[in-house]
Chains A and B, each alone.
Chain A
Amino acid sequence: MNALTILSSLLGKKRKTVSIGFCGRVNAGKTTLANRIAMDLAGKKVGKVSSIPHETRETNKVEHIQLQFNGKNLDMTLVDLPGITTKIDYRKFMENHGLTKEESIQRAKEATRGVVEAIKMLDQIDIALVIVDSTKPPFDQIDLVIVGNLEAKGIPIIICANKIDLDEANPQLVEETFNSIHFVVPISALTGENIESLYKNIIIST
């Protein structure tokens, strides 16, 4: 508990906590971005990162991450959701990543449960960071389904055009696609490039 929290408690004033959801397709960089923010602001990690799809198969939360920006302070709970997909074939883990059949089936079973959990959690977040892999075309049906659901629930959305550190990234296309209504922030979760712009947009969205 930091000094500000203690002072607020003593004064009987409870500060509002805002849950920030990291949503998107599988391997878009959700956990990498959640880790980047948690490390940057609190020196801790949210979850494990891997090149094997569906590394995050359960929701990970880190509470009381303090964001101070432009004189404002925000108490955040970072909610890292499993990736959402329409298909999970356990054989891909064997063919592409060298997992055994048992490991692959186990991972696939946990991943299916993770997708169900991620969809359920879309109801329980205050601000959604939709992580889009800007090295791929942004017209994926999953992005559309996620954004459409969040819009229907009235949840503020920030589109994070991730992976701008890669040569093939095209964050301009992501901006052209989404920019008419939602904040779009080109970002590299890996290097932290443009993270300040994301903080600014989170503060504006609250």
Chain B
Amino acid sequence: MSKLDLISKDAAQKLDLETKFTMIIDRVKKGTILVLEGGLSPEEQTGLINRVMMQIEFEEPSFAGVELISFFNDPSHSSFWRRSKRQLSFTVVAPSSTVKILRNDNEILSLLLKDSYPPT
């Protein structure tokens, strides 16, 4: 069974960057899907990817990384340039072992949850 946590913008803003990354990775490693209101900027996302790479495990059961998806406020603004101008609405971080992205086109994010990952 998978768990989903929505982290409010206020709660996320109270955390410094390192604490935020630790909180995200700790939860995702336990099999939780996180939705971060307000989203992560591209710079924050590369910081998170860095830390995820350092946490990847090679023993069973292994943590193999994350799926990282950001959504934006105005779906009519479909161009990449406008998307990158931080009209971020929310960012989803999920364990890659439990989640498969079926559709992500700025209108619908569709995720398939798998049961192969054994959450602790």
* Chain A residues in the interface with B (C-beta under 8 A): 84-91, 105, 108-109, 112-113, 115-116, 119, 122, 137-139, 141, 143-149, 151-152, 176-182
Contacts and interface: CB of A to CB of B under 8 A. Distances in A.
Contacts, number: 99
Interface string B56-94: 101000101111111000000011111110000000000
Interface string B18-58: 00000000000000000000000111011001101110101
Given A86-B52, A119-B50, A152-B42, A141 B81 contact: no
B41 to A, nearest CB: 7
Going nearest first, the 10 A-B pairs with the smallest beta carbon separation are A148-B42, A87-B65, A89-B64, A87-B96, A112-B53, A181-B81, A180-B81, A177-B80, A148-B84, A145-B45
A26 to B, nearest CB: 12
Contacts of A182: 81
Contact of B105 (A139, A141, A152): A139
A87 B58 contact: no
Contact of B46 (A105, A112, A113, A145): A145
- SS class, residues of chain A in contact with chain B: helix
A87 B64 contact: yes
A152 B43 contact: yes
B81 A109 contact: no
Given A90-B58, A177-B79, A149 B46 contact: yes
A109 B82 CA distance: 36
Task: Sort chain B's interface into a size bin.
Answer: 20 to 34
Contacts of A177: 78-80
21 contacts: A86-B52, A87-B96, A88-B65, A90-B62, A90-B64, A108-B58, A115-B53, A119-B46, A143-B80, A144-B42, A144-B80, A145-B68, A146-B42, A148-B43, A149-B42, A151-B84, A152-B42, A177-B80, A180-B80, A180-B82, A181-B81
Contacts of A179: 79
A89 B59 CA distance: 11
Contacts of B56: 88, 108, 112
Nearest to A179: B79
Given A86-B49, A112-B54, A180-B80, 6 more contacts: A86-B52, A112-B56, A115-B49, A139-B80, A152-B42, A181-B81
Contact of A89 (B41, B62, B79, B84): B62
A89 B43 contact: no
A139 B106 contact: yes
A144 B84 contact: yes
Contacts of A89: 62, 64-65, 96-97
A137 B42 contact: no
B8 interface: no
B27 to A, nearest CB: 16
A178 B50 contact: no
A91 to B, nearest CB: 8
A144 B83 contact: yes
A86 B68 contact: yes
